[in-house]
Amino acid sequence: MAGPAPRTVLVTGCSSGIGLAVAVRLAQDPQRRFQVIATMRDLSKKGKLEEAAGPALGTTLSIQRLDVCSDSSVAECLSSIPGGRVDVLVNNAGVGHVGPVESISVEEMKRVFDTNFFGAVRMIKAVLPEMKRRRSGHIVVVSSVMGLQGIVFNDVYAASKFAVEGFCESLAVQLLQFNVFVSMVEPGPVNTDFELKLMEEVARSEFPGADEATVHYFKDVYLPASHEIFTTLGQSPAAVAEVRGERGWGRGGT
């Protein structure tokens, strides 16, 4: 007797880090319970995912382009899914931003929110009608511990994650009657290429508009302390994916 059909899982932001680890973890599930659609904005960065996926590539894992900041890109990706069915949405795509707030333009702040908040909202809005119609579905949002508590020099990033938290907490209550579940994942420090590149970039920045004392505090106190925390306490992306996997990607829960 055949078992239940694999659940279709769409994961955003899979070129590296947590998104890559989650996609591979699910695609390599020994029981083959998941059919994973791993997406990223820039397909030229898919090499690392293809290598990690191994034999799962082309069987339980496919790679597609998806830019969470574009309505047309989201629609194009979803239209390519057989039947348009997404059982589990894993909102992982995100951008980081650290530095003195005086040096961050409003346009830069909007860019952070467009990915971290509106990107997640755009994806949820795209899959929600069908989930509600079927009365079945699971939305997973990779937030951050900074969605629970603000951290110095992470003002804008924390604000974008606080926004996601409020949106999802409110939405989760509404969706219970439709048997659609919302889960928030709030990792602490995670060692990824994303973090390393961000820290290297800001260390070279000048931060126009910020006073000398603030720049000194940021570069000589915050950055070294942050680096120490990530290198000594940071989890690996695989560890985050494994813990969540043990709790059941694709099963109902909060």
Extract the tokens encoding 17.
């880090």
Q: What angle do CA 178, 180, 183 make, to 5 degrees?
A: 150
Cα–Cα distance, 195 to 206 (Å, whole number) = 19
Indicate which residues carry an active-site annotation.
157
123 and 74 Cβ atoms separated by less than 8 Å: yes
Please choose, from the candidates 24, 44, 151, the residue with its C-alpha nearest in 3D space to the C-alpha of residue 99. 151
Cα–Cα distance, 235 to 227 (Å, whole number) = 13
